[in-house]
Structure formats: structure tokens, C-alpha cells
Amino acid sequence: MFGVFEIDNTADKITNDPGLHHFQLAHGSFDELFDRYDKLRASGVTPMQTWNHGVMTSFYYEDPDGNQAELTCVNFDREEDFHAYFETEAYKKNISGIEIDADDYIARYRSGTPREELVIVPA
């Protein structure tokens, strides 16, 4: 999947950057994403932001030059549930989602909290 997002009020801003805000690397499961998080953290690399976007869970990293990478995983097992989320009131009222505490989120998942309980974004 390749996503292009419009950011309001950027046409009049003059910057020195090439225009790329960040790139996204998708993982196939929560387990893959959370294992990657553990490996990076063990090397001293921690995310600058962690989000539950409703449709995806994302960890944002930044390198010393300011380049940002989003490591993410879709929050739904079925593609139709992923697409259906865009029609929910929760999404329409809050398209960004909510910031999460990665360690707490991962611990709850690994202790058996059903994925469906983790991915719900309050409206």
C-alpha cells in the first residue's frame, strides 16, 4: 500500500526540505511490530511517537538527520474490517487516533488482552 496525504495550509510555506514528511514500513502482525520495537529498544532506539490510529498501530522513529520512519501494523485481521473502519463515527470524529504508551499497549497485548479491545479508538 502507498499512501499520500494532504496536509492543510502547506502550499504557502517555504522550507528547505525535499518535501518528504516520513515513510512507512508495514509489518504483517502485532507480534512482528512489537518484536521489532523490542529489538530497536534493546539497541537504544526508541520511538518519538506511538499511536493507535484506529486502522493501524504506528511507532514513529527519527534519525539524527530528522528523517522519520513509521513502523506500523494494520489493526484488523480482515481487509473488509480495515476498510469498514473508515466509515465509522470513531474515525470520522478523530482521523488521527490517539497517542499510546507503547510499553503498556504491548504488555496488555502480550498478557492476553484481545486485539479488538486494543484497537478501539474513542470517538
Calculate the CA dihedral of residues 40, 42, 45, 48 and round it to 10 degrees: 90
Residue 36 lies inside a defined structural domain of this protein: yes
More confident residue, 105 or 91: 105
How many domains in the chain? 1
Each residue of 16-60: pLDDT tens digit?
Answer: 655 566 677 888 899 999 999 999 999 999 999 999 988 889 999
- Is 67 a member of any domain? yes
Could you give phi then psi for residue 83, rounded to 5 degrees?
-65, -35
- Indicate whether 17 belongs to any domain: no
Assigned domain for 5 exists: no
Instruction: Look up the CATH number of the domain holding residue 41.
Output: 3.30.720.110
Question: What distances in angstroms separate CA 60 from CA 7, 41, 46, 100, one per listed residue?
Answer: 18, 13, 9, 12
Q: For 63-73, what is the mean pLDDT? A: 86
Its domain, for residue 64, covers 23-119
In a domain, 30, yes or no: yes
By the 10 Å C-beta count (0-12 exposed, 13-18 middle, 19+ buried), 58 is classed as: buried
Residue 33, in any domain of the structure = yes
- Residue 60 forms part of a structural domain: yes
Please say if the pLDDT value at position 7 is more than 60.
no
pLDDT at 55 (0 to 100): 87
Domain-embedded: residue 4? no
Distance of CA 39 to the CA centre of its chain: 18
